[in-house]
């Protein structure tokens, strides 16, 4: 998942020669704290909400609509940049590993899993280096398997566990995806 998950996914996929694709999902951040995930949106109009948090914050519908509309524009822009107008890859019957750089609430990953499930893979595995334990439990409800190398308590966010937390630019994401693309096969007798 771009942006942070692309560099992790490339490291995971390279040794086994598997392709890396961008699954664009946008967190719906709270107006006063963008890192606090109210939910997430993804390809195909998928929207998931953190109902528990929405109740606690007592947000009115107009605030939530404003956040969603803003993120929908950015989702469309990133889809266009990262995919170049191509649809998501055909993954029906395949095992799909969704990788990100960490998982605090799991809202963004839930949206990713819901979008992926709609594309009919045989198995969905979610993999992150570190996650909040309760986020892993939530993801296990929508994915076939959820893997986190560590579930520290308290979970202090992705940045707390990284010596460097690179924020990839759009150009860096596109370059990483191109570098991770499997070699093109030539046709029968082709050169």
Phi-psi region for residue 157, left (φ > 0), alpha (ψ -120 to 50) or beta? Answer: left
Neighbours of 14 (CB within 10 A): 12
Q: Where are the domains of the chain?
A: 4-159
Neighbours of 55 (CB within 10 A): 9
Q: Radius of gyration over alpha carbons of the chain, in Å?
A: 17
pLDDT of residue 164: 66
Q: What is the mean pLDDT of the chain?
A: 86
| 185: pLDDT strictly greater than 90 | no
Q: Cβ distance 173 to 166 under 8 Å? A: no
Q: pLDDT at position 190, please?
A: 43
Can you say how many angstroms the Cα of residue 157 is from the centroid of all Cα atoms in its chain? 15
39: three-class secondary structure by DSSP: strand
Mean pLDDT calculated for residue range 157-165: 65
Cα–Cα distance, 67 to 30 (Å, whole number): 8
Is the dihedral angle over the CA atoms 140, 142, 145, 147 positive or is it negative? negative
**Yes or no: domain 4-159 corresponds to CATH 2.60.260.40:** no
Q: What are phi and psi of 18, to 5 degrees?
A: -95, 150
Full-model pTM = 0.81
């Amino acid at each position: 998942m771009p942006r942070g998950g692309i560099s992790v996914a490339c490291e995971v996929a390279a040794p086994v020669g598997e392709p890396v694709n961008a699954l664009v999902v946008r967190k719906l951040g709270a107006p006063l704290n963008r890192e606090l995930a109210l939910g997430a949106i993804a390809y195909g109009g998928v929207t998931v909400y953190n109902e528990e948090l929405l109740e606690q914050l007592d947000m009115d519908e107009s605030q939530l609509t404003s956040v969603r509309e803003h993120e929908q524009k950015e989702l469309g822009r990133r889809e266009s940049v990262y995919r170049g107008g191509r649809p998501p890859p055909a993954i029906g019957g395949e095992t799909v590993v969704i990788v990100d750089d960490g998982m605090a609430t799991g809202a963004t990953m839930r949206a990713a899993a819901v979008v992926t499930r709609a594309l009919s893979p045989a198995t969905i595995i979610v993999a992150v280096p570190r996650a909040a334990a309760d986020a892993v439990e939530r993801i296990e409800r929508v994915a076939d398997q959820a893997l986190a190398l560590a579930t520290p308590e308290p979970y202090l966010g992705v940045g707390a566990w990284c010596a460097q937390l690179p924020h990839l630019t759009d150009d860096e994401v596109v370059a990483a995806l191109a570098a991770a693309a499997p070699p093109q096969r030539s046709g029968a007798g082709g050169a």
